[in-house]
A = this chain, B = another copy of it.
Amino acid sequence: MAKIIPNISVDCVIFGFDFNQLNVLLVERKLEDEASGKVLIDDWTLTGYHIFEDEDFDTAAARILKGLSGLDNIYLEQFYAFGAIRRVNGPKDNLWLEHQLEGFSQRIVTVGYFSLIDNTTVTITHNDRNVNWFPITDLPELGFDHAYILEKALEKLRSKLRSEPIGFELLPEKFTISQLQRLYEVVLGTKFDRRNFRKKVMQMKYVIPLDEKQKGVKHKPAQLFIFSKEVYEKTKTERFDFSI
């Protein structure tokens, strides 16, 4: 394996949706004093790692994601690069880095990626560290400047959700209109009229109705739909908002 580049890393903000809430994947950062057993650090961070010398940013992000989910072809997008001098500066951060990188003390800049997956079906694992989904409304203490990075990622997700069909990445292949609506409402923090929402989605040619219904629900089962990226690419027209 190639050497890592010590002052450059990639952090992935992995978002998941469970039909109810928007979640983010975090890794536990735990350090105990070997002699006393005293817990020196116990908080959480985003999933990230240094880039290797023979690796692009995109490749590094995909590698991290694959390591956790086992999946390729996940939605992944670079959203911002973080290089503030004091971005990693808390006593815990320094302690952690000393322990991990042994003496490397330069500033580490990081490139942020966000990723969207359906967290009802994907299982996330990590060799030796705890990994967990947390609802974005109820986060634990975050290490480094990861609270800030997460905030930026959320901003980007929200803004992109308004103008491009990325929401479907958070749903299973087959979904109902209500699930899609719930997703929009949760991520954007708004409410939509059920009938108008449906009307809007119905006129999107790339949201294709199936001859199939929801199963296992204790009420009238809803029709299922799939999203077609191909149809979207073909039918999208350059929109102009000029909202400024």
A78 / chain B contacts, CB cutoff of 8 Å:
80-81
With contacts A8-B109, A53-B107 taken as known, whether A162 is within 8 angstroms of B242 at the C-beta atoms is: yes
Q: Shortest Cβ distance from A103 into chain B, in angstroms? A: 17
Assign chain A's interface to a size class: 35 or more
Q: Shortest Cβ distance from A241 into chain B, in angstroms? A: 5
- Nearest B residue to A166 via CB reads B244
A167 at the interface (CB under 8 A from B): yes
| A97 to B43 CA separation, bound complex (whole angstroms) | 43
A221 / chain B contacts, CB cutoff of 8 Å:
none
Quick one: which of B7, B83, B188, B242 contacts A240, CB cutoff 8 A? B188
Contact A200 B242 (CB under 8 A): yes
A1 at the interface (CB under 8 A from B): no
A188 / chain B contacts, CB cutoff of 8 Å:
240
The quantity of this chain's copies bound in the complex is 2
A153 at the interface (CB under 8 A from B): no
A240 / chain B contacts, CB cutoff of 8 Å:
162, 188, 190
Which stretch in A22-30, A54-62, A64-72, A126-134 binds the other chain? Answer: A54-62
Contact B85 A55 (CB under 8 A): yes
Q: Shortest Cβ distance from A84 into chain B, in angstroms? A: 5
With contacts A240-B188, A244-B204 taken as known, whether A83 is within 8 angstroms of B8 at the C-beta atoms is: yes
What does the 1/0 interface line of A204-244 toward B look like (CB < 8 Å)? 10000000000000000000000000000000000111111
A56 / chain B contacts, CB cutoff of 8 Å:
83-85
Contact A167 B244 (CB under 8 A): yes
Interface residues of A in 24-50 (CB under 8 A from B): none
- 7 sample A-B contacts, Cβ–Cβ < 8 Å, listed by A number: A8-B83, A162-B241, A163-B243, A164-B243, A184-B242, A200-B242, A204-B244
- Nearest B residue to A107 via CB reads B53
A111 at the interface (CB under 8 A from B): yes
A162 / chain B contacts, CB cutoff of 8 Å:
240-244
| A56 to B109 CA separation, bound complex (whole angstroms) | 10
| A204 to B243 CA separation, bound complex (whole angstroms) | 9
A13 at the interface (CB under 8 A from B): no
